[in-house]
Amino acid sequence: MINEKLLANCLWLGGSGDTDELAAPELFRRRVFLEKRPDHAEWIVAARGLISLEINGKAVTNELFLPGWSDYRKRLPVRKLDVIGLLQAGENILTVTVAPGWYCGCISRGNYPGGKVAYGKKHSWAGELHWHCSDGTAGIVASDSAWEYADQNSWIYSDFYAGEKRDYRRTPEKFFPAVPVTAPEQPLFLYEVPPVKVAEVLSPRSVDRNPDGSFTVDFGKNIAGFAVLTCTAPAGRLVTLTHGEVLNPDGSVYTANLRRASGRAEVIWDGEQHTYRPEFTFFGFRYCQINGVDEIGDIHAEFVTSVYQQCGTFECSNDLVNQLYKNILCSQQGNSLEIPTDCPQRNERLGWLGDIQVFIKTALYSFESREFYLKYLDDMVLCANEAGDFPPFVPFNRPEEFTGSAGWADALLSVTWELYRFYGDKEILRRYHQPLSKWLEHLNNTADNFIRSASRYGDWCAADTSTPPEFIATAYYARAAQLLADIAGIMGETALQEQRNILAANIRAAFVNKFTAAGQLTIRNQSAPVFALSFNLLPENMRQNALNILLEDIEKRQYAISTGFLSTGLLLELLSRFNCGEVAGKILTCTRCPSLLYPVLKGATSVWEHWDGIKEDGSFFDPKMNSFNHYALGSYGAWFYEYPGGIRMREPGFRSVRFAPEFLPQLQYVNAGFRGIKTHWERRDDGIYWEIESPVPVELALPGRGETVAPGKYSGKCQ
């Protein structure tokens, strides 16, 4: 919510001038004398950059990367923090450190220091501390000229891509009056989204000493966050922590795939014991190589994320499949950091829309994240161009690269739709209906006789790239028109619904006309029939033919997969919908390359960007594009809950469900759960035994059953 009054009386404070180099976080302080300990106190802060706050030497919050990210060209986030426990009667020292972060770090400078800035060159902050006592006395400590600015501090730089460098020997020597900088023109909005926090602390699984004396620590899974090291080292000694996702054959950490990101934290020690923990950066890693210490002191890793409340579970008789499922969860948490990102490690970490567009349904099954995505929908709306089209990633900071692309520009629609379905709140549809309608208008205006071609990224990372851009773009166009017709219907706008139904039918007719001949799809691969059938683009009499094309290709590849970012999430669901569960099960359990389980066999603990990120001979895929933590190819995750797990939504918001488990022949048992619903089935000699416990009404869609029952626990047996 934009609020005109927020911080209206504050000065914005920044450090020494603009810089094109990697900038140092800057330190500000102010002494405040209070007669009494206040009964209420709240610090309201904003920053162009990242901010960390202390009162009397104690951190004000354990939330990370404050005040958050959005389209800074349009709005700046403001945080309100309760600080009552930290103030005391007498003197208090308030400290603020402000760092470049998403505002003016490399991520917003076209990837490198000195690059073209998207928002501004200089980090700065503003804030007001409000306090009052029960006797009525009260005060405000605003950012004003009474604040002081330190000549230096231990940070040399801290940046999302470049990593961090600190020198513990450098402490402030002098303080100068803080210099006000120009206040931003952008409005401020109160940020009320679950913050980034440490969700998990990981102990080392192993610590190995390398021939060069360095140590390699394995934390057991590929996360976003950092290693935290407590040790002593002689004054002047450089200690380096290099974070990476995989290892080189010699046991050192592989960093080539980080591209222009460093993965590195460098610390010059001062002879004392310190716990080193980065504050304004994070890394994507499983391993950390430590150079410069004689002995590893105490080390652990912290997994940071914005989504921490798991709401879905899945477990079955196949351990490799269980690991696959865990990998999807891990990549979701590692790529939900303030915004949904593509990957957490290389010089990207951006909100690529195609990735969340395909992953949203899986995301909502696994972690409670309504507020996280609602805020992101607002970010998307802010980033639309005048025509109503959407950029490839959001927040968007490279205006010259604006291209609306099928599957990427559809994210506002898919995320809005799934949030509505998962939470059953029509208000969500109403809130985004206007920008969605404008976007559909844009698609109409730029289509050529109902055919569209804007598919810059195609079915990204597919092993078979033979589905042409017009096919994908027109398929998505038809899907958008139909879904927006359905949305108009749900909102009670029947005339609009009818108009969009006609539009959708026209696009489907144009699609059939262009991409089929003699009742057959003309493109014979996996993804073309997947799009055509999943988006219901074909008339009844052509569907079996399309399914046959898909089944033939699957058979030809012996259950290996050739789908990319856009079609992988649709494949298993489609097979299950068309009663080909056995084939879905064979795809699920196939271990040939490329397949879902192949990365698991290669030791994956997260979802890879490429099916063959590590090739069969152990070599790596091209380092220019080889993330080991990219959830897009894990977007079939929703299928686990719905088909083998059997939990299908019957009414929006899961106000009632259908229990319709698919008893995959490849599995002996399955346990699944979602928001208090628990399901189980297992094979025994005399049949399949099933169970469901549900807090909402359930339709028992099982052989020989079919009745809808009240909330409760039910069990039975099928042959």
Q: What is the binding site for ligand BGC (CB under 6 A)?
A: 342-343, 348, 352, 354-355, 392, 457, 460, 630, 632
Helices in 292-410 by DSSP H: which ranges?
319-334, 353-366, 370-383
Q: With CA atoms as reference, report the closest residue to 657 among 708, 715, 713.
A: 708
d(CA 111, CA 105): 8
Candidate list 348, 470, 573, 642, residue with the active-site label = 348
Helices in 237-368 by DSSP H: which ranges?
319-334, 353-366
Q: Other CB atoms closer than 10 Å to residue 220's CB: what's the count?
A: 14
Q: Which long-range contacts (CB under 8 A, 24 or more apart) does 514-523 make?
A: 514/451, 514/470, 514/474, 515/471, 515/474, 516/542, 519/545, 520/545, 520/546, 520/549, 521/545, 521/546, 521/549, 523/466, 523/467, 523/468, 523/471
Residue 691, token pair as written in the block? 């169970």
- Least Å distance, CB 210 to ligand BGC, is 30
- Least Å distance, CB 497 to ligand BGC, is 32
- Least Å distance, CB 595 to ligand BGC, is 20
* C-beta of 258 vs 698, nearer to ligand BGC: 258
- Least Å distance, CB 260 to ligand BGC, is 13
How is residue 17 annotated by DSSP? S
* C-beta of 181 vs 339, nearer to ligand BGC: 339
Residue type, 714: Y
* C-beta of 392 vs 581, nearer to ligand BGC: 392
β-bridge pairing 698-700 and 657-659: parallel
Residue type, 139: G
Candidate list 164, 609, 642, 662, residue with the active-site label = 609
Spatial CB neighbours of 684, under 8 Å, sequence gap ≥ 6: none
Spatial CB neighbours of 120, under 8 Å, sequence gap ≥ 6: 48, 72, 103, 104
Q: With CA atoms as reference, report the closest residue to 290 among 317, 253, 257, 256.
A: 253
Spatial CB neighbours of 185, under 8 Å, sequence gap ≥ 6: none
- Least Å distance, CB 456 to ligand BGC, is 7
Q: Are the C-beta atoms of residues 557 and 595 closer than 8 Å to each other?
A: no
- Least Å distance, CB 613 to ligand BGC, is 13
- The alpha carbon of 634 is separated from its chain's Cα centroid by a whole number of angstroms, namely 12
In the residue annotation, 128 being an active-site residue is answered as no
Helix or strand or coil: residue 264?
strand
d(CA 238, CA 679): 54
Q: Are the C-beta atoms of residues 673 and 714 closer than 8 Å to each other?
A: no
How is residue 64 annotated by DSSP? B
- Least Å distance, CB 609 to ligand BGC, is 7
Q: With CA atoms as reference, report the closest residue to 213 among 294, 268, 267.
A: 294
- Least Å distance, CB 607 to ligand BGC, is 11
Helix or strand or coil: residue 284?
strand
In the residue annotation, 348 being an active-site residue is answered as yes
- DSSP string of 81-150? EE-GGG--SEEEEEEEEEE-HHHHSGGGTTTSTTSPPSS-S--EEEEEEEEE-TTS-EEEEESSTT-EEE
d(CA 439, CA 419): 19
d(CA 429, CA 420): 7
d(CA 604, CA 478): 36
β-bridge pairing 298-305 and 283-291: unpaired
- Least Å distance, CB 590 to ligand BGC, is 24
Name the residues annotated as catalytic.
348, 609
